[in-house]
Amino acid sequence: MDLARDSLYCSEDLYSASRRNTMISKLIGATTVSLLFLFPGPALASPDPIIEELVSVNKTLGGRTVVYPKGTPEMRVYRVTLDPGAKIPLHTHPSPVVVYLQQGTLTNIRVVDGVEVFDTIEANSGFLEGSPQEPHYIINNGTKPAISIVTFASVEGMPNMIKVD
């Protein structure tokens, strides 16, 4: 009978040891996961954002300072594509306008004291408009479409541009 009793105790000891090992493995796993959340390393790190300033200006192409209109603010952002030869007719802006040219080339022609003043705008650059004293028009004299992002710092109900005859 002692042999049967010893076998039984031996089986219980093996069962207890196996169960103890399983519990220790679970405890180590849980501790490791907890430490990863407390001390995130490169494996859990996210990449840093890439922030690039595209345009920073405080004067128009003609050297004038713009004035922000009074009223309820309204920001408007447009993508404008001008095919080769396309033209935006003579106009002014009643509010500040920032233009960032993504692709192509544009010619900005301002009328100053009856004389046309030309500025060539290349891709990856921008300019500020928004002075009522600077009527201007835009032409794509290039060979490929000119694509720009145009942001108006306007107010509710105000037009983006006013045509000049």
Residue with token string 């920073």? 56
Whole-angstrom Cα distance, residue 1 to residue 76?
93
Low-confidence winner among 24-28, 49-53, 87-91, 95-99 (lowest mean pLDDT): 24-28
Q: Answer whether residue 114 shows pLDDT above 90.
A: no
Q: Which residues of 80-116 are buried (b: 16+ CB within 10 A; e: fewer)?
A: eebeeeeebebbbbbbbbbbbbeebbbbbebbeeeee
Q: 73-163 in CATH: which number?
A: 2.60.120.10
Element holding 10 (H helix, E strand): helix 2-38
pTM for the whole thing? 0.70
Count helices and strands in the chain by DSSP H and E runs = 1, 9
Enter the tokens of residue 72.
């309820």
* Model pLDDT, residue 25: 67
Q: Answer whether residue 23 shows pLDDT above 80.
A: no
Other Cβ atoms within 10 Å of 119 Cβ, number? 13
* Mean pLDDT of all residues in 45-54: 91
